[in-house]
Every structure is written in structure tokens, then in C-alpha cells.
A and B are shown apart, each in its own frame.
Chain A
Amino acid sequence: MASIKIRAKLSDGVTTVKALIQHPMETGQRKDKKTGKLIPAHFIQEVTCEHNGTNVMTALWGPAVSKNPYLSFKFKGAKVGDSLKLSWVDNKGENDSTETQVS
């Protein structure tokens, strides 16, 4: 399942990572209009990013992060061609990860 789109661009020694993840990010507070029942919560809880195997950022998310979340952050110390791995885990234990190269 390719749920992650990621781009990592190096400029002046700083790598800017931008990622889009496809996920419903259901809060658990919304009601199904037809049945009137609450839609169970389903959201990403943790996103981690590793640069050549070293963690550079861990995001802990609550259900209030928007649907199909966007994430961007910056870090120093990468070279062009370095590997960058982004993974997420949601509250149901579903997960996905992808790898990209710094460009």
C-alpha cells in the first residue's frame, strides 16, 4: 500500500522533508449521518523519520490532525543520495513505510 508521498530536498546544508500520507484520520467524534452512530476513531498516532538509520524526527499525533495529513520538517547533516525512511503507525496497529533518497 503506497500511502506515503515524500520528497526530501537538500539546500544550503539543510534538508527539507515534505510528506503527504493518505489516511482517514477519523476522530471518533463524528456521527454517521444515516445510522446516527459514532464512527470509530481511526488516526495515525506516530510518524517516524530515519536518516541513514538514525531517527531525526518523531511525530506524535492526536485525532485532530487533518485527513490525509501533510507533514514537513527540516534537518541538517544529510548528503544527496542519503536514504530517508518514513513510517507511520495508527491506533488500529496498521502501518506503512517508505524510503526515499535526499535530492
Chain B
Amino acid sequence: MTNMKRRTFLKGSVAAGAVGAAMGAGLLTPRIVLAAWPTAAFEAKSVDSALDALAGSHALEGSDKISIRAPDIAENGAVVPVSISSDIPGIESMSIIAEKNANPLTASFTLGKGAEGFVSTRIKMGKTSSVIAVVKAGGKLYSTGKEVKVTIGGCGG
């Protein structure tokens, strides 16, 4: 009898231990991390609704303190290098938007402690469009844009 109880107790603790180990090893963390991914913003079909979903507003203020580095003509729309830099103080996030893509929001970078106002990446563009850099600082949105001509689209098959 006592033996039986000991057995169930052991089984129970082994199961609990497995869950604990899974959490410890980070197996359950992706779910938590992904909760932060703004699905609505990335699935939005227009620049305004993407910004509404991402930042709660689409009131953009043009700024000459943001610069975009992207090619004037992109021969291959599948790989368009884009860098944005800004010296606006207190930047919270920097986003890259390709205006005429099916889902305009491409990437959004949240800057942590000590991060400088600079991000660089490569994006896909379906067709010739304006690339918009949106910088969020002090609760306001600042933006600047640059036209990129695409000769071969990067979103088709």
C-alpha cells in the first residue's frame, strides 16, 4: 500500500519536472515572444491602417532629421538594401514601409537602451514605390520617404 502511493507520487513529480525543464530550456518561450508580434499591423493593406495598428496613429510629421539610404533603381526587387538613420532624440522605434507592397509594413525595430538611431536591412518590393521610414520618438511619429524604382518585382514567383 505504502509502496503504491510512493509510485504515484514519483510519477507526478516526474511529470511536473518535465514541464519545468521544458520551460527552462526555452521550449515554451516562443509562444510568449510571439505574442508581441503585431499581426494586424503586418497584415494591414494600407500604410495608414498599418501605422494605426502598430503605433496607434497615422499622423505623420515630415522630418529632415531622418535619412533613408536606398537605391534609386533596384534591379532586383527581392533584395533592396535600405538603411535609415536619424538623430531625433529619444527614438523608441524605427519602421520601414514599402508603400505599394501588398502589406506595406516591412519591418519595425524597437530600440533598447543605448541604441543609436540607425538600422539597416534588405527588403522585398513588389513594384516601384515609395519607401517610407517612420521614426517614433516621444510618442510622435516622424517620417521621410524615398522613391525606389523596381525593374523586376520581388514578390512574384
Most buried by B among A61, A64, A78, A93: A64
Number of interface residues of A (CB under 8 A): 40
- Which residues of chain A are within 8 angstroms of B38 by Cβ–Cβ distance? 60
DSSP class of B's interface residues: helix, strand, loop or mixed? mixed
A93 pairs with B109, CB closer than 8 A: no
DSSP class of A's interface residues: helix, strand, loop or mixed? strand
Write the nearest CB–CB distance from B49 to chain A, whole angstroms: 14
A70 pairs with B110, CB closer than 8 A: no
Q: Is A80 an interface residue when CB atoms closer than 8 A count as contact? A: no
Q: Is B15 an interface residue when CB atoms closer than 8 A count as contact? A: no
Q: Is B156 an interface residue when CB atoms closer than 8 A count as contact? A: yes
A62 pairs with B106, CB closer than 8 A: yes
User: Per-residue CB proximity of A61-75 to B under 8 Å, as 1/0?
Assistant: 111111101111111
Known contacts A60-B38, A64-B124, A77 near B114 by CB under 8 Å: yes
User: Per-residue CB proximity of B30-61 to A under 8 Å, as 1/0?
Assistant: 11011011100010000000000000000000
A57 pairs with B42, CB closer than 8 A: no
Query: A72–B102 Cα gap in the complex (Å)?
Result: 25
B30 pairs with A93, CB closer than 8 A: yes
A60 pairs with B116, CB closer than 8 A: no
